[in-house]
């Protein structure tokens, strides 16, 4: 079995599972309780927050734990919108954001907010100049994804952040979910105010994540109750999840240099081979793209059919993003890049992790070519 759907979710590190199990079993106290068990849990939560902050280069009081990318994005976007709506109701984003950004923005539009969706070019990149041109006196938020989850294009968030220094009243949110451990990002240097990460994208556990909130930025909380997480996310904290998240991030950062070059080499080998096939279009840009994602269109074959053909050969890939695949809709990102609905409906995403090995790449290439021939032969025979 060759698992190539790591952009959807990654297998957790064994050490992460062990730490979650240990904390859940032995440190199960409520961190808000005043007795020994509660204090032990609180200490673990505090240490996990400090570790996260150290690894991300920020302050511990700027990290709040969430259930993952969707919650983090919703809290960032709606939190800014509701908190600063008296200042303005205009938001700027791109046409290639994850649904965890697009859907909250659509909800805000129904509540009277005005959202500008800045287009991308044919390679899937937004320009800093276009973002700046969209800013108005009533703009309160700019939200731009770091690494596109479908094709892997790396957006110029550093340049956008520097540009936004000229607009001090605009809050800058970055969805960093696909970038963690693959494309380094200095949150402070990029002038980012809000940054979302999700544990299960870097070999942590599902249901864990964090939102960086720059000191001085005020958000309106989505959940009200016991005032946990600096009064921004009420509810008894997932201590074991927070500890596991910090461990996953540390392991990912520790292994970054060793893994990123190997994964990049596999991606390069795969793209070079696939580009030679006249029935395949590589959608992932060669330059300024993440090391782990390869998106291709297989001409004349529906993505879902091709996916199952590879599955029979023990290779697991995905169509569009995992959150959208069951809707059977064509790739939103490819449509935004100017591709036809047919081309967008024929796209699959291959995404590597450190667990993939170089020896598998030739088998992956051969399986793709063989599947194309087999499926086209079936189509010819059925005519």
Positions marked active-site? 323
What is the distance between the alpha carbons of residues 351 and 152, in angstroms, rounded to a whole number? 9
What is the distance between the alpha carbons of residues 202 and 3, in angstroms, rounded to a whole number? 15
- CA of 383: how far to CAs of 269, 308, 370, 377, 380, in Å? 36, 21, 20, 10, 6
**Strand ranges (DSSP E) for 126-277?**
139-145, 171-175, 194-198, 209-213
Helix axes 239-254, 256-275, angle to 10 degrees: 70
The residue written with tokens 């980012």 in the block is 192
What's the gap between Cα 134 and its chain centre? 24
**Strand ranges (DSSP E) for the chain?**
2-3, 63-66, 90-94, 114-118, 139-145, 171-175, 194-198, 209-213, 280-282, 293-298, 315-316, 347-351
56, two tokens: 């991300």
What is the distance between the alpha carbons of residues 68 and 234, in angstroms, rounded to a whole number? 15
Cβ contacts of 23-28, under 8 Å, gap ≥ 24: 23/239, 23/240, 23/243, 23/244, 24/240, 27/239, 27/240
Residue 103, SS3?
helix
What is the distance between the alpha carbons of residues 40 and 346, in angstroms, rounded to a whole number? 52
159, two tokens: 């340049």
What's the sign of the alpha-carbon dihedral 175, 180, 185, 191? positive
What is the distance between the alpha carbons of residues 46 and 43, in angstroms, rounded to a whole number? 5
217, two tokens: 């930025």
């Amino acid at each position: 079995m060759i698992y190539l759907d790591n952009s959807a979710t990654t297998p957790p590190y064994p050490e992460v599972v062990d730490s979650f199990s240990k904390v859940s079993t032995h440190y199960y106290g409520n961190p808000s309780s005043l007795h020994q068990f509660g204090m032990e849990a609180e200490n673990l939560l505090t240490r996990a927050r400090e570790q996260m902050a150290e690894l991300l280069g920020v302050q511990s009081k700027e990290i709040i734990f969430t259930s993952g990318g969707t919650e983090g994005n919703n809290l960032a976007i709606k939190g800014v919108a509701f908190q600063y709506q008296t200042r303005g109701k205009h938001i700027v984003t791109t046409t290639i954001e994850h649904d965890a950004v697009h859907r909250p923005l659509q909800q805000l539009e129904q509540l009277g907010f005005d959202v500008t969706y800045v287009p991308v070019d044919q390679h899937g990149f937004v320009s800093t100049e276009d973002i700046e041109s969209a800013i108005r006196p009533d703009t309160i938020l700019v939200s731009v994804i770091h690494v596109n989850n479908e094709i892997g294009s790396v957006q110029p968030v550093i340049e956008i952040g520097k540009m936004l220094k000229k607009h001090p009243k605009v809050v800058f949110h970055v969805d960093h979910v696909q970038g963690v451990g693959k494309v380094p990002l200095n949150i402070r240097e990029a002038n980012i105010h809000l940054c979302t990460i999700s544990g299960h994208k870097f070999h942590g556990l599902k249901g864990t994540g964090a939102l960086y909130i720059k000191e001085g930025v005020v958000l309106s909380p989505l959940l009200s109750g016991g005032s946990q997480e600096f009064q921004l996310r009420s509810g008894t904290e997932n201590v074991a999840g927070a500890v596991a998240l910090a461990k996953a991030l540390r392991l990912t950062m520790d292994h970054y240099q060793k893994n990123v070059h190997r994964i990049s080499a596999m991606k390069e080998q795969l793209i070079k081979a696939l580009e030679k096939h006249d029935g395949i279009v590589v959608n992932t840009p060669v330059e300024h793209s993440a090391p782990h994602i390869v998106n291709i269109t297989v001409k004349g074959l529906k993505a879902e059919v091709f996916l199952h053909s590879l599955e029979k050969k023990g290779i697991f890939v995905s169509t569009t993003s995992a959150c959208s695949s069951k809707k059977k809709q064509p790739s939103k990102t490819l449509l935004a890049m100017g591709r036809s609905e047919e081309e967008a409906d024929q796209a699959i995403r291959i995404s590597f992790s450190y667990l993939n090995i170089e020896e598998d790449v030739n088998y992956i290439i051969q399986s793709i070519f063989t599947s194309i021939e087999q499926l086209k032969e079936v189509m010819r025979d059925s005519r």
